[in-house]
Amino acid sequence: MDLKSGSHVHLMGICGTAMASLAGLLKDRGFKVTGSDSNPYPPMSTQIEGLGIKIMKGYKAENLHPQPDFVIVGNVISANNEEAQELMKLKIPYTSLPKAMGEFIIENRESVVISGTHGKTTTTSMMAWVAENAGVKPGFLIGGIPKNFAQSFKNPEGNYFIIEGDEYDTAFFDKVPKFVHYRPKHVVLTSVEFDHADIYKDLQAVKDSFAKLMHLIPENGTLLACAEDANVMELRKLAKCKNSFTYGFAAHADFKAKILFQNEKGLAFEVHHKGEILGPYNMQITGDYNVLNATAVVAMSKLLGFSENRIQIAMESFEGVKRRQEILGEPNGILVIEDFAHHPTAVRETVKGIQKKYPGRKVFSIFEPRSATSRRKVFQQDYVEAFKGSHEVLLAKAFDQSKIDEDNRFSSHELIEDLKKSGVTAEDFDSADLIVSALKARAKRGDVILIMSNGGFDGIYTKLLQSLA
């Protein structure tokens, strides 16, 4: 990475949430940046285009001509990818995104790594906003676009770098979790569940990956572990750092959260720590899980020495993250909300949180099984539990399952039948257009439509807003 400003850096898989952020960091540092991706979609594709970076659609050998000075390879790229093979043939210097982040961006700064199965993006965004308000001029990389910053990245001016610590693997030539390269000194561990069934065999394999993170925290580092999660509590024992604390609603938590109120306008909570009451903290976002996220940020901010007044101001002004409880519009009095939820736990908590936030209003829960895990049968029954208590469920068929053998494929129809048996009004559809038509016929003024997908969902968002209008 000994590159001069103006050198040409090419990113393979540029529309990935972290890759898009790295593209921005490099462009901001004066590099010429190009990238390729098989399926560009907002909000990352929009961010990249807004930076004036050209996206080459599809992975092709010709994307490396003219020849760049350096290539960063995303974890979506396999060794037999046409562009990857051309990279090897041309012998252009290359590395992975996480390694580039650690060596070139984070360097020797105070690295604050937000990790866990759930809540990483919101918690990282919140932590970055608090640090910004505290005046420490942090750098950050987030797997989403925080509304307070309008971009998912920022080069550091001060000594802090705040980063979303993903447990997904690094690259086809570097099969370790991304966070291994992030030089973690201060770590939040939100939750540990089985996920990423395409690369992890079982829960133990996931726990083994987080064990690596625990071992990497230096003795003078910090760990904040969620007291609500038994797996997190088990992993906490592996950390050797002197500053190890827990947070959560549990009475035994070192930083104990207490919700003061929660309604359509937002929520307020306080944190009890060593006989002291911190807060109150007012927030625009809602949901018990967001209180846990915010409690972790309050605790880390206090441990890093940020002022109480600055933390309160930042919490109250935090606007959330695009595609996380994001209100898209309210055509004809029908509120349309988008969320990134795809793991059964995230789906359950999101549905529960939205229904709690809008009492007395019917909530249509729309879900597209699109992530590598949700398209597999491993969570078939967990989704039944996730949607129990839903007002009405409209389910898309699983996104492209061609590379998954038939015995392991998730079945949208089977889930619908199981939900009906449990008393939930539910139906599955073959396309986004059919879901839009059904909602136009069924939704009434005052209803809420919650759309959950971690992808483009065939443009359902725009189609629905236009149809309802």
Report pLDDT digits (tens) over 249-295: 999 999 999 999 988 778 999 999 999 999 999 999 888 989 999 99
Q: What percent of the chain has pLDDT over 70?
A: 100
Q: Rounded distance, CA 146 to CA 126, Å?
A: 8
pLDDT tier at 4, thresholds 50, 70, 90: confident
pLDDT score recorded for residue 279: 92
Q: Quick count: other Cβ atoms within 10 Å of Cβ 261?
A: 11
- Tokens 């929520």 correspond to what residue? 267
Chain region(s) in the chain for CATH 3.40.1190.10: 99-317
- Write out the H or E segment, with its range, that includes residue 232: helix 230-236
Q: Rounded distance, CA 321 to CA 81, Å?
A: 33
What is the torsional sign of CA 33, 34, 39, 41?
positive
- Tokens describing residue 320: 């959330």
Q: Rounded distance, CA 63 to CA 54, Å?
A: 11
pLDDT digits over 107-163, tens only? 999 999 999 999 999 999 999 999 999 999 999 999 888 999 978 899 999 999 999
Q: Which of the following CATH numbers is that of domain 99-317: 2.40.160.20, 3.40.50.280, 3.20.20.140, 3.40.1190.10?
A: 3.40.1190.10
- Tokens describing residue 84: 């990857």
Mention every residue, 6+ apart, whose C-beta is less than 8 A from residue 383.
344, 347, 374, 415
Q: By CB neighbour count within 10 A (0-12 exposed, 13-18 middle, 19+ buried), where does 324 fall?
A: buried
Q: By CB neighbour count within 10 A (0-12 exposed, 13-18 middle, 19+ buried), where does 377 fall?
A: middle
- Among candidate residues 156, 29, 179, the one with its CA nearest the CA of residue 102: 179
| 83 pLDDT more than 90 | yes
pLDDT digits over 217-257, tens only? 999 999 999 999 999 999 999 999 999 999 999 999 999 99
Topology, domain 8-92: Rossmann fold (3.40.50)
286 φ/ψ angles, rounded to the nearest 5 degrees: -130, 180
- Tokens describing residue 144: 């989403």
* CA distance between the termini of the chain: 51
Which three-class secondary structure state does DSSP give residue 213?
Answer: helix
pLDDT score recorded for residue 7: 94
Instruction: Report CA-CA distances (Å) from 122 to 152, 156, 218, 260, 320.
Output: 12, 20, 25, 21, 7
Residue 270 contacts residue 281 (beta carbons within 8 Å): yes
65 φ/ψ angles, rounded to the nearest 5 degrees: -130, 120
276 φ/ψ angles, rounded to the nearest 5 degrees: -100, 140
Chain region(s) in the chain for CATH 3.40.50.720: 8-92
* Pairing relationship of beta strands 139-141 and 153-154 according to DSSP bridges: antiparallel
pLDDT score recorded for residue 286: 84
Alpha helices in 77-134 (DSSP H): 82-90, 97-100, 120-133
- Beta partners for 425? 392
pLDDT digits over 420-468, tens only? 999 999 999 999 999 999 999 999 999 999 999 988 899 999 999 999 9
Q: Rounded distance, CA 348 to CA 463, Å?
A: 25
Residue 450 contacts residue 364 (beta carbons within 8 Å): yes
Residue 227 contacts residue 233 (beta carbons within 8 Å): yes
- Beta partners for 281? 269
pLDDT score recorded for residue 406: 87
Alpha helices in 279-388 (DSSP H): 288-303, 308-317, 344-357, 380-387
Residue 294 contacts residue 315 (beta carbons within 8 Å): yes
| 178 pLDDT more than 60 | yes
pLDDT score recorded for residue 192: 96
pLDDT score recorded for residue 1: 57
How confident is the model over 25-47, as a mean pLDDT?
88
pLDDT score recorded for residue 287: 84
What is the torsional sign of CA 435, 437, 440, 443?
negative
How confident is the model over 12-36, as a mean pLDDT?
91
Ranking 38-47, 131-140, 381-390 by mean pLDDT, the lowest is 38-47
Instruction: Report CA-CA distances (Å) from 65 to 8, 10, 40, 58.
Output: 12, 11, 21, 14
pLDDT tier at 47, thresholds 50, 70, 90: confident
Which three-class secondary structure state does DSSP give residue 33?
Answer: strand
What is 326-468's CATH superfamily? Mur ligase, C-terminal domain (3.90.190.20)
pLDDT score recorded for residue 280: 96
